[in-house]
Amino acid sequence: MVSEAGDGVGALDRVRAFRPDVVVLDLMMPVMDGWTFAAECRRINTDRDVPIIAISAMFELQGAAGALRALGVRACLSKPFDVGDILSLVAAVV
C-alpha cells in the first residue's frame, strides 16, 4: 500500500497512522521541509527505525548525504531519476 502527503506535517501524520515500511521523502516540501521531517520522524519512531530515502533537486545533495545520514536517511537520490533507480533503493533499504 502506498500513502502520500502534500507536505511534511501531513507526512508525519501518515507515518504515525500508517507505520510505513519505507518513506520516500522530498527535501523541499512546503510547511515542514524534509530535514525537519526526518528529525521528527526519528523522534516519534524511537521504537522502530523506518528507512528514509531522500530525493531532491538540490545541487549539493551528495555533499549533504552525511548530514542526512545523521538524521536517519539511508539513501539519497538526485532529481531527475528513473523509476528503476527508486525501486532499487527501496529494495535495498527494506
pLDDT by residue (tens digit) across 19-28? 888 999 988 8
> pLDDT tens, 30-81?
898 888 999 988 887 655 678 899 988 876 767 777 888 888 888 888 888 8
* Backbone dihedral angles phi then psi of residue 18, each to the nearest 5 degrees: -95, -25
8 and 29 in contact (C-beta within 8 Å)?
yes
pLDDT given for residue 48 in this prediction? 64
Domains and CATH numbers, the chain: 8-93 (3.40.50.2300)
Contacts made by residues 69-73, CB under 8 angstroms, sequence distance 24+: 71/35, 71/38, 71/39, 71/42, 72/38, 72/41, 72/42, 73/25, 73/38
Q: What cell was used for 81?
A: 531519476
**pTM confidence score:** 0.85
